[in-house]
Amino acid sequence: MTEQLKGTSFRKALLDVVNIHSKKMAAMAQQAILIDAVERLGIRFDTAKEQALLTVWSDLFREGHLAWGKDLSNPGSPWCHLTEKGREALRNLSRDPANPDGYVAHLMREITLDPVAESYIREALRTYNSNCYKAAAVMVGCASESLLLELRDELVARMTSLSLTIPKKLKDWRIRTFTVAIHGELTKRVSQMDRHLRESFESYWTAFTHQIRVIRNDAGHPLSVEPVSPASVHGSLLVFPELAALNHKLRSWVQKSFQ
């Protein structure tokens, strides 16, 4: 059953209501939250949609954003409270990975991802919200690598059109090898970039090519039981929109101004 209704997800509605109630009191009443969410969505007396809302409500507990109880005297339903993970999600509710619709809307506000990168980042959001952090780390890494492949192809096409010598490593199949080559070609021409692009390039390139890749590799190489932490995957997801925006700007600059 779809979670969508008139462009607003049941999940987003519940998170919005929880955010409001949590600011009033540390412990919240389940019935009050659900009634507010139902009114916000306009689905009262529609059993199928109310059941869909209850499914999403259960997901917030299963994923660790909410837990039952008010205190030791009231340890269960109908009282509930935010966990640390839930409080972290609400700090950046409009674009936090816990709110996939808001996250994707924020990501797509200024750029358009290619279908490959978009499919991986959507999968990353699903696995992150299912507490599958190793899988999420790999998916974010794949999305980032897809962006790097796009940038490499754009750079090769531009250098070819200018009859410039293309370094052998720039056409290598290995991600790390051609990433180092991309950085070398861009660094040689960093003075040609406008100030804003230059600062973004110098600030985010390491995160783009190293931080997310390291987390992805840690998750993909089974050397320990917990190779990545929820916080590190959360951080990778939060920084990914900035990296996608940087990739978009660099590709545009390569097309028009790279010499």
Q: Average pLDDT for residues 130-141, to the nearest whole number? A: 90
Which pTM does this prediction carry? 0.73
Please give the single-letter amino acid code of residue 170: L
Q: What is the rounded distance in angstroms from the CA atom of residue 148 to the CA atom of residue 119?
A: 16
Domain boundaries, the chain: 4-91, 105-257
Mind listing the pLDDT tens digit for each residue in 202-253? 888 887 777 677 776 766 666 666 778 888 889 889 989 989 999 999 999 9
Span of 4-13, 87-96, 167-176 with lowest mean pLDDT: 4-13
Handedness of CA 186, 187, 188, 191 (dihedral sign): positive
Neighbours of 232 (CB within 10 A): 18
Per-residue confidence (pLDDT) for residue 147, from 0 to 100: 92
pLDDT reading at 4 higher than 70 = no
Q: How far apart are the C-alpha atoms of 230 and 70, rounded to whole Å?
A: 25
Residue 6's pLDDT is what? 41
Q: Over the chain, what is the mean pLDDT?
A: 87
Q: Is the pLDDT of residue 200 over 60?
A: yes
> What would the DSSP string read from start to end of the chain?
---EETTEEHHHHHHHHHHHHHHH-SEEEHHHHHHHHHHHHT-TT-HHHHHHHHHHHHHHHHTTSEEE-SBTTB-STTEEEE-HHHHHHHHTTTT-TTSHHHHHHHHHTT----HHHHHHHHHHHHHHTTT-HHHHHHHHHHHHHHHHHHHHHHHHHHHHHTTPPPPGGGG-SSHHHHHHHHHHHHHHTGGGS-HHHHHHHHHHHHIIIIIHHHHHHHHHS-SSS--S-HHHHHHHHHHHHHHHHHHHHHHHHHHHH--
Q: What is the spatial distance between Cα 238 and Cα 236, in angstroms, rounded to a whole number?
A: 5
Question: For the residues 41-45, what does the mean pLDDT come to?
Answer: 90
Give 79-113 pLDDT, tens digit per residue: 999 998 888 888 777 788 988 888 998 898 878 89
Question: Half-sphere exposure of 127 toward its Cβ, with a 13 Å CA cutoff?
Answer: 18
Residue 106 identity (one-letter amino acid): H
Output the pLDDT for position 112: 87
CATH level 3 topology of 4-91: Arc Repressor Mutant, subunit A (1.10.10)
The dihedral over CA atoms of 77, 63, 125, 87, expressed in degrees to the nearest 10, equals 70
Check pLDDT > 80 for residue 52. yes
β-bridge mates for residue 81, sequence order: 27, 67
